[in-house]
């Protein structure tokens, strides 16, 4: 496995109620990846939610955008101890994608182009808490940051905001994703420092 890290230059600040414990404030957005960057084009991009009955709900790039793109400003917190505050994004709320998906399952496995996975409780993706992000800081998402689209779940550590998102699979139990299998916490709340299990 290869690990890419670029752009990390942080500075400590005086205590800030928006900075979780153990975090360092950064101005630039570091690049962290495990493995190669997939080459995904919007003309072939497809997003799917697969429910417990095996029904697949698909959206093309144009269908995703037609649901309505929102402006979002959130703080993000990486498990590697950096935080970036007031980061501007544009994306589609997962509430819109789940409008016509019926499920009894309480968990999802987020799946990415390139094979990455991460597990999340469904309730953490709804009620205005998560998006399929397509822009960051006024620009389309670069591939190294997960473009053309990544999951954005800002209230959890950033490994839960899967890059190169391609779909969500409903699950009855909280099965481990990629990093969780290597000892990362199943949930990842930065305010509780849930870095590792």
DSSP 53-98: TS-EEEEEHHHHHHT--EEEEEEEE-TTSEEEEEEEEEEEEHHHHT
Pick the CATH number of 24-29+38-192 from 3.40.50.2020, 3.30.360.10, 3.90.420.10, 2.60.120.10: 3.90.420.10
Q: What is the pTM of this model?
A: 0.91
pLDDT tens sequence across 25-82 = 999 888 877 778 999 999 999 999 999 999 999 999 999 999 999 999 999 999 999 9
Q: Where are the domains of the chain?
A: 24-29+38-192
Please check whether residue 114 is in contact with residue 164, taking contact to mean a CB–CB distance below 8 angstroms.
yes
């Amino acid at each position: 496995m290869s690990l890419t890290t670029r752009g990390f230059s942080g500075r400590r600040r005086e205590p800030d109620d928006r900075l979780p414990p153990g975090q360092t404030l950064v101005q630039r957005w570091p690049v962290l990846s495990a493995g190669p960057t997939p080459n995904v084009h919007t003309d072939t991009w497809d997003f799917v939610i697969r429910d417990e009955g095996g029904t697949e709900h698909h959206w093309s790039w144009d269908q995703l955008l037609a649901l309505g793109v929102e402006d979002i400003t959130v703080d993000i917190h990486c498990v590697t101890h950096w935080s970036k505050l007031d980061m501007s994004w544009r994306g589609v709320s997962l509430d819109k994608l789940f409008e016509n998906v019926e499920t009894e399952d309480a968990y999802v496995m987020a799946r990415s182009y390139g094979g990455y996975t991460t597990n999340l409780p469904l309730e953490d993706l709804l009620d205005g808490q998560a998006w399929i992000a397509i822009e960051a800081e006024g620009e389309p998402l670069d591939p190294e940051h997960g473009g053309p689209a990544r999951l954005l779940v800002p209230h959890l550590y950033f490994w839960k905001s899967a890059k190169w998102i391609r779909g969500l699979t409903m699950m009855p139990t909280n099965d481990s994703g990629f990093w969780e299998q290597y000892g990362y916490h199943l949930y990842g709340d930065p305010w509780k420092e849930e870095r590792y299990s």
